[in-house]
């Protein structure tokens, strides 16, 4: 019998998922002022917004920045009455120009912490220098395995039996910053990209809010 606390169902036969460190949300002295960057459906954005609404994460989403005009995350943000700013990367000559505009927007909305929740652009030192150590990302693998795009496909192709998700600090090298929190997800016989991705996302939604708070309590 492990003495490691399994989250959710405590019976490991029922819930094989493992999160480390345990996702208890540390108390924060003052609300974190978050800026979220997202490109897609925004389920992680919603999980963070819900944790804030539930008073489990002491934070406020100051602004959502999205780069894809059709991204569903914008609709979600409007439902939460969170300001949205579209910065379509196709309208910028290079990554640095986009990042300069992102920094300006984040500063306008008085953001302290930048949360990449499915932001499908590589960020540059321009963003990272403006928010040193305060840019976080979620990635659908147990880093350092399966960095970059199509991490779920990569895990299936490699034949690993356990994968998962990781919240980490962002550094210039893609998916390489200090790891804050991970959740393990077993790969089941017959898993497809869609079925595995769906189970990974459930765990992403569990670890992202506490990992944000954890980052804020660490140097
Ligand atoms: C997540 O799986 C995340 O790991 C990856 O992009 C996906 C975003 O999903 N970086 P959603 O838009 O939050 O639903």
Full-model pTM: 0.93
The per-residue pLDDT of the chain, averaged, comes to 92
Domain 31-132 and domain 138-203 have a common topology:
yes
CA 82 centroid distance within chain: 18
Q: Which residue's CA is the closest to the ligand 1 atom numbered 1? A: 118
Q: Looking at domain 138-203, which of 3.90.1260.10, 3.40.50.170, 3.55.50.30, 3.90.960.10 is its CATH number?
A: 3.40.50.170
Which protein residue has the closest C-alpha to ligand 1 atom 10? 118
Residues with catalytic annotation? 139
The model's confidence at residue 16, banded by pLDDT at 50, 70 and 90, is low
pLDDT tens-digit profile of 83-103? Answer: 999 999 999 999 999 999 999
Tell me, in angstroms, the distance from the centre of ligand 1 to residue 1's CA. 34
- 137 labeled binding residue: yes
Please check whether residue 111 is in contact with residue 33, taking contact to mean a CB–CB distance below 8 angstroms.
yes
Spans of all domains in the chain:
31-132, 138-203
Per-residue pLDDT tens over the stretch 171-219: 999 999 999 999 999 999 999 999 999 999 999 999 999 999 999 998 7
With a cut of 90, say whether residue 105 has pLDDT above it.
Answer: yes
Tell me the CA distances in angstroms from 52 to 45, 102, 183, 208, 211, one per residue in order: 11, 23, 21, 12, 13
CATH number of 31-132: 3.40.50.170
- Rounded to 5 degrees, what are φ and ψ at 149? -75, 160
CA–CA gap between residue 149 and residue 39 (Å, rounded): 14
Tell me, in angstroms, the distance from the centre of ligand 1 to residue 3's CA. Answer: 31
Q: CA 196 to CA 152: how far, in whole Å? A: 7
């Amino acid at each position: 019998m492990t003495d490691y606390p399994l989250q959710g169902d405590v019976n490991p036969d029922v819930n094989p998922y493992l999160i480390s460190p345990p996702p208890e949300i540390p108390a924060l002295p003052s609300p974190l002022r978050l800026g979220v960057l997202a490109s897609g459906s925004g389920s992680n954005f919603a999980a963070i917004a819900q944790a804030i609404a539930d008073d489990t994460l002491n934070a406020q989403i100051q602004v959502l920045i999205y780069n894809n005009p059709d991204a569903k995350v914008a609709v979600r943000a409007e439902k939460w009455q969170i300001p949205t700013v579209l910065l379509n990367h196709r309208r910028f000559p290079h990554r640095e120009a986009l990042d300069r505009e992102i920094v300006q927007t984040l500063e306008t909305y008085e953001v302290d912490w930048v949360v990449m929740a499915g932001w499908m652009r590589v960020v540059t030192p321009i963003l990272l220098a403006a928010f040193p150590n305060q840019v976080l990302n979620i990635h659908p693998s147990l880093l350092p395995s399966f960095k970059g795009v199509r991490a779920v496909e990569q895990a299936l192709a490699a034949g690993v039996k356990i994968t998962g998700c990781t919240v980490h600090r962002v550094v210039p090298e893609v998916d390489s910053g200090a790891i804050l929190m991970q959740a393990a997800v077993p790969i089941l016989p017959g898993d497809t990209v869609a079925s595995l991705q769906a189970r990974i996302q459930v765990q992403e939604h569990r670890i992202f809010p506490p990992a944000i708070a954890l980052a804020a309590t660490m140097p």
